[in-house]
Amino acid sequence: MDTATIFLVLAGVLGLFMAWGIGANDVANAMATSVGSRALTVRQAVIIAAIFEFAGAYLAGGQVTATVRKGIIDSGEFCVGCTATPDTLVVGMLAALMAAACWLYVASHRGWPVSTTHSIVGAIVGFAWVGVGSDAVQWTKVGTIALSWLFSPLVAGFFAFAIFSSIQRLILDTENPFRNTQKFGPYYLFVVGFVIAMVTIRKGLKHLGLGVGPGETVAYAIVAGVVIALMGALLVRRISPDPGVDRDFHFASVERVFALLMIFTASAMAFAHGSNDVANAVGPVAAVVSIVKQGSVMQQSALPAWVLLLGAAGIVLGLSTFGYRVIRTVGRKITELTPSRGFSAEIAAASTVVFASYTGMPISTTHTLVGAVLGVGFARGIAALNLRVVGGIFMSWLITLPVGAALAIGFFYLLKALLL
């Protein structure tokens, strides 16, 4: 077997491993609030994720991806005749995939929700540093990403706090909470439709080249919000209060309504996540395929269909096998979630993604969702939070980038010795 074939086989295997890690950790995050609030079972979450993550990844995952992940390293440093050759970049990308995937495996096994983006960024920084030198690393970009560790959870937490506080004031703390759920539910559904449409159009469909401008995006999102609100109003009207269950828990019928709403938010968030994150995660695979075929480093390269299929299949496999561990941490161990609280967290996370996409701030889906859950907990008081679990999550965030870098350095030297 020649070296080029070995590179392609390794890229496929490691790409699948990386996609598995995304499913076990990142996608589990997206489903955690729905499962933790018992709006969905783990089986239902896996089915929804399988359908909508796969659809988002394959239909809107993007046909073009940057060979060098998000500008973290300077591709000009890898050329024939340079200190680092294109083959060095291939080995480096393979090492980065292996390092990030191994870290995601460890984190998922421990139930730690960590960032896929930060895992791969740390890995790429690590191999670039030892493979070329520190000058090859775009440190400004790395610093901007580090700022998102603070930005993401704070903004999402603020939105979640505000949304759940409004639900408490308008619905839960009233004399007739069920009637007020029917009254105000459509307005919250409008927010759901508007925000999710913005996420999907802005983040999910941007790679399709539809040429949708900011003004058109807002107009389409408003229409989507109105349609979802009208559909939701009809569904909510069909739910009748159950005096029997309400006798044991005053808000049981109200939570049934929010459980219905969360099915829509979970489905839409899965599609948006698949369309935006999966192609990025398998970007190193596309880089390897491009370099092997072209023999040189290109700034942009086509993302083969089989790579998207690989990523889509891997995330479903990861969620269904290991995802329950992270779901348990985010959905049940940080704070007690009900459908209304989980609903608030999901909308807050989606709103933060939309806000960040328009301001250009790079954020982590993981940090955003965890911050939103923390915001809901704060709305109930600091005692509602499991600070020990929260501390463990924060620690896992801090060590993700350096651990990814250290693992990538080790794997880079190993693969370089074996393949070059």
- pLDDT (tens digit, 0 to 9) for every residue of the chain, 420 residues total? 678 888 888 988 998 999 898 888 887 777 888 888 888 887 888 788 778 877 777 666 654 344 344 567 766 666 655 656 778 888 888 999 999 999 999 998 888 888 887 888 889 889 888 887 777 777 887 787 777 777 888 889 999 999 999 999 999 888 888 889 888 988 988 988 888 788 777 765 665 666 678 788 889 999 999 999 998 888 888 888 877 777 666 688 888 888 888 887 788 777 777 766 666 667 778 778 877 777 666 555 556 777 777 877 888 888 888 887 888 788 777 888 888 888 898 888 888 877 776 666 667 777 888 899 889 988 887 777 888 888 888 888 889 889 999 999 999 999 989 887
How many domains does the chain fold into?
A: 1
Rounded to a whole number of angstroms, the CA Rg of the chain reads 22
User: What one-letter code names the amino acid at 245?
Assistant: V
* pLDDT at site 227: 93
* pLDDT at site 40: 84
Question: In sequence order, what DSSP letters do the residues of 131-184 get, joined into one string?
Answer: HT-GGGB-HHHHHHHHHHHHHHHHHHHHHHHHHHHHHIIIIITSS-HHHHHHHH
Taking the CA atoms of 323, 325, 357 and 227 in sequence, report the sign of the dihedral they define.
positive
* pLDDT at site 407: 95
For residue 94, give both structure tokens.
């393979």
Q: Please, are residues 228 and 186 in contact by the beta-carbon 8 Å criterion?
A: no
* pLDDT at site 405: 92
* pLDDT at site 210: 67
Distances (CA, A) of 333 to 25, 194, 266, 313, 389: 16, 30, 20, 28, 7
What does the alpha-carbon distance between residue 204 and residue 182 come to, in Å, rounded to a whole number?
A: 31
What does the alpha-carbon distance between residue 53 and residue 308 come to, in Å, rounded to a whole number?
A: 11
* pLDDT at site 163: 93
CA 229 from chain centre, in angstroms, equals: 26
For residue 76, give both structure tokens.
């000009």
What is the residue range of 198's domain? 3-419
Question: In sequence order, what DSSP letters do the residues of 354-377 get, joined into one string?
Answer: HHHHHHT----HHHHHHHHHHHHH
Which 8-state DSSP code applies to residue 206? G
Taking phi over 0 as left and psi of -120 to 50 as alpha, with beta for the rest, 38 belongs to: left
* pLDDT at site 65: 46
